[in-house]
Amino acid sequence: MEASLKASEDRLTKILLAVAGLLFVGVIALGAYFLGRESAPASTAPASTSSAPVSTEFDYDVLNQIRSLLDRYYVKPDNLDDSSLFEAAVNGMLGILDDYGTFYMDPRTVRLDTTVSGAFEGIGVTISEQSGEIVIVAPIKGTPAEKAGLNTGDVIIAVDGEPTKGWKAEEAQLRIRGQRGTPVAITIRHPDNTQQVYNLTRATVEVPSVTTTPPSGALKDASGADVSDIGYVAISSFSVRTAQELEKAVKEQVDKGVKGLIVDLRYNGGGLRDTAISSTDLFLDSGLIVVQEDRDGTRTEFNAKRGDPTGGMPIVVVQNKYSASAAEIVAAALRDNGRAIIVGETSYGKGTVNQSERLANGGALFVSVAHWLTPLGVKIDHVGVLPDVEVQLSDEDIDLRRDAQLMRAVDELRKRTAK
């Protein structure tokens, strides 16, 4: 009995060791399983001890064999979920590249993503999952949800008659969104516990990427006093409409007679390179904005054109560790051209130009196709853009909801406008 058990354990140990090694070296090939190839039967021949050179050609069928062996022997068969194994294989492969800009986006995320287009089709609400319920954070202005009277704090308890209990926010978004012109019934529980069914028609919803309202609702200095002589614009992402939105917002601030401008890029994960360039160009009359270096070393320069609606007024850029990619292009270009100083934290450090390719399963692969350099020729990938004035939010700042970074930006602008 013991000999039989030990033989079984030895066999399982060898199999699992083989699986671990093959997954590390050839994780990319699990995709072959999902292309519908048949598995080759496991060989019963003893392992070869030959010193013959190992082939550099990877046999994708080996991953089919691994999957078959896992099905046959793995002690926790409930863990063998096809979707999870596939995504783990893809993400494992891309993770080895150590490149922020090359990544896989699953079909569900592709459907929900609005970073590039700045729009989606639905009813126009931002939602979150709170204590197991789907709660409306806010309706988007001018959308079917706002026009119908949905409000912050309303709870979505059903979509087309199906209860939302147990749903995550992503699932609720997928159920609520759909082709414009199609109907959807949303059952709402209001804060006073009354319930109402809203029969809405989906529409194209544009998501603004620029706002002139600070996070706290009003711009304040370090003493807590309201600030009216300094303008504020925040850019959440760089979509196809961002430059136009930004130009309009900046002109509104200038028309108010402000003496300086804060450009808030915190939590901006990036977006379109060309939009970042045109947004930066709004603040420059001349100068180099960014340099793109392709895989063969070829460099392409992007320069500013004349036209600055601010008239050259002082600018302070605010960034944090979540400011990335296109946001870093803007921050570095304005600083390197002497148009702005940067307040906050070192940015994320994603300095690559990416190309997206749709996949057969509805997902997408984003591939880094070039590096970009700041006007001073600095690569920031995995390094980030350093601030001129470092300000990190303390635990006390967070507890008191005190935006020390924005307050410091106000102080730095006042120093510059006083000169």
Residues forming the active site: 325, 336, 350
Query: Are the CB atoms for 350 and 324 separated by under 8 Å?
Result: yes
At 163, list the tokens. 């209860």
DSSP string, 303-335: E--S--TTTT--EEEEE-TT--THHHHHHHHHH
d(Cα 109, Cα 127) in Å, to the nearest integer? Answer: 16
Query: Of 387, 242, 279, nearest to 323 (Cα)?
Result: 387
d(Cα 235, Cα 251) in Å, to the nearest integer? Answer: 15
Query: Are the CB atoms for 271 and 237 separated by under 8 Å?
Result: yes
Contacts of 301 (CB under 8 A, 6+ apart): 288, 290, 291
Query: Of 115, 140, 418, nearest to 259 (Cα)?
Result: 418
> Scanning the structure block, which residue is given the tokens 């093959």?
22
